[in-house]
Amino acid sequence: METGPSQRPLSFRPLSLRWYECAWIALFVAAILVFLPIVIHRTCVKGFGDAQVFFRAGWAVWSGFPLYQVADDHSWTYHYPPTFAFLMGFFADPMPGFPKPVWSLSCRNSVLVWYTIGIAAVMLAQHVWANAVSRALGPINQGRWNGWWLLRLGPLLALLLFVGDGLGRGQPTAILLLLMVTFLAMYVAGRTHVAAVVLAAAITIKIFPVVLLALPLLRRDWMMLAAVAGYSIVLLLLVPALLVGPSATADLYVQMWSGHLLSIVSYTPNPQIAAEVNFTSYDMTSVGAMLTRIAANGLPQSVTLPGWAIASQYFANVAIVMALVWGGHGRFWRLTSGQPPLSYSALVAGAVVIAALPVMLLVSQPNYVAFALPLVAIAQVEAWRRDGMVGPSWWLVGWSLLMWLGMIATEVEIVRPLRVIGLVTPATIGLVIWGFAVLNRARVEAAAR
């Protein structure tokens, strides 16, 4: 297909910037720089956030203190696989009365490095994703906007509050996002082992990225499934077994399951988990939490979900899975014939799955809404394809303002119904439904190069 003088494929290199594009970039850089001292003060002086959970887990696993009993200054504990705790050794933060390891960083330096890693991860995630999406685009009129920058910074500005929430809490959300989008990009590019390694790494940090195996499972891609399983065994089992021994590794997983995960996934928390996790709080974004608050017209007396809300959550999750199966058939997978080439449709499907996580997970706070970044980028691309020109999508700007309002209303009671409902949840559901509509009408296009 020939292109006119004003049309060309979306550039893989940054083009000359106009003043308003420079203003966007300056706004984002300023937000990063201003937020850093706030995060350090909140974490090291006020003791806010979740970073100390990971820092203290890094100390416990290297010092011999029981990993799943160690708590931060809020009495919050570590719920995740042990391998990630080993990786946090450089940030080791001992419990009061214990000596600080000579190899670990100070609190301020730990927060600085951890924050910098988060910023780098989210920027690299957007870059990897933008490159993957750009390969699937046909010619497009760049017009008065620079598509290279807009595809990378547009989604970040749209969800800046949620990205900042993850960075401020000290959660590894940005790292998980990077690993998940890299898996999708590498999988579509046919790089099986690279894709498998990064997905296994994501599962090692927090288990829920395993949902992305839905794509190779539907495609009956046994090689990818086997590769992810193999690398996961190495990271989850062999690495800790080499460091502390097979018996100690087995004990760690028994403690993780019996003392933590079982209480969370069963919605019947033990006293320790009940003191840490409020399944119905205003900042919980799951469907079950939203429905429970609406029924109680505020916060219910119990921190756990009623049976009907749990059933509603399971129903919503099954509906999302069924929509993926139905909408993706003939696009990125087939039931009876050969599988279609991996292309833009698979990227859309993966973006929808990641974006749906905040409303599907049992425990999900606003930082997980940053997982919608890839689908917001798809929304930008779809607007450009519809209009035939790069530029801001005004419906997407309106949706972003709605998300910002929802985030603010969660923290501050502006209008009570907004806080009770949790505006972020229905807005995220709306984006996911839109993503399924895109997937449903998509056809196999040019395979990613």
Q: What is the pLDDT of residue 9?
A: 54
Is residue 59 assigned to a domain? no
CA–CA separation, 374 and 64 (whole Å): 40
Amino acid at 67: L
Q: Does 448 have pLDDT greater than 70?
A: no
* Residue 213 token pair: 């195996």
Q: Which residue's entry shows tokens 């003060």?
A: 41
Q: What is the pLDDT of residue 93?
A: 92
Q: What is the pLDDT of residue 150?
A: 85
Mean pLDDT, range 197-201, rounded to an integer? 98
- pLDDT, tens digit, for every residue of 124-142? 999 999 999 988 776 677 7
Cβ–Cβ under 8 Å, residues 326 and 228: no
| Confidence label for 337 from pLDDT (cuts 50, 70 and 90) | confident
Q: Does 2 have pLDDT greater than 70?
A: no
Is residue 195 assigned to a domain? no
Mean pLDDT, range 399-421, rounded to an integer? 87
| Confidence label for 14 from pLDDT (cuts 50, 70 and 90) | low
Is residue 323 assigned to a domain? yes
Length of the chain: 449
| Domain around 154 | 9-48+112-172+279-441
Cβ–Cβ under 8 Å, residues 132 and 184: yes
SS3 content of the chain, % helix, strand, coil (to 5): 65, 0, 30
Is residue 388 assigned to a domain? yes
Mean pLDDT, range 61-83, rounded to an integer? 91
CA–CA separation, 45 and 52 (whole Å): 12
Determine what percent of the chain is predicted with pLDDT higher than 90. Answer: 57
Q: What is the pLDDT of residue 144?
A: 72
Class of residue 337 by CB neighbours under 10 A (exposed 0-12, middle 13-18, buried 19+): exposed
More confident residue, 413 or 143: 413
Is residue 263 assigned to a domain? no
* Residue 126 token pair: 């957007």
Domain count within the chain: 1
Is residue 307 assigned to a domain? yes
Amino acid at 348: V
Full 3-state SS string of the chain: CCCCCCEECCCCCCCCCCHHHHHHHHHHHHHHHHHHHHHHHHHHCCCCCCHHHHHHHHHHHHHCCCCCCCECCCCCECCCCHHHHHHCHHHCCCCCCCCCCCCCCCHHHHHHHHHHHHHHHHHHHHHHHHHHHHHCCCCEECCCCCHHHHHHHHHHHHCHHHHHHHHHHCCCHHHHHHHHHHHHHHHHCCCHHHHHHHHHHHHHHCCHHHHHHHHHHHCCCHHHHHHHHHHHHHHHHHHHHHHHCHHHHHHHHHHHHHHHHHHHHCCCCCHHHHHHCCCCCCCCCCHHHHHHHHHHCCCCCCCCCCHHHHHHHHHHHHHHHHHHHHHHECCCECCCCCCCCCCHHHHHHHHHHHHHHHHHCCCCCHHHHHHHHHHHHHHHHHHHHHHCECCCCHHHHHHHHHHHHHHHHHHCCCCHHHHHHCCHHHHHHHHHHHHHHHHHHCCCCCCCC
Cβ–Cβ under 8 Å, residues 347 and 136: yes
Residue 330, CA atoms < 13 Å, CB-side half-sphere = 7
Is residue 346 assigned to a domain? yes
- pLDDT, tens digit, for every residue of 165-193? 999 999 999 999 999 999 999 999 999 99
Is residue 424 assigned to a domain? yes
Element (H, E) at 7: strand 7-8
Helix, strand, or coil (residue 329):
strand
Q: What is the pLDDT of residue 312?
A: 95
Class of residue 83 by CB neighbours under 10 A (exposed 0-12, middle 13-18, buried 19+): buried
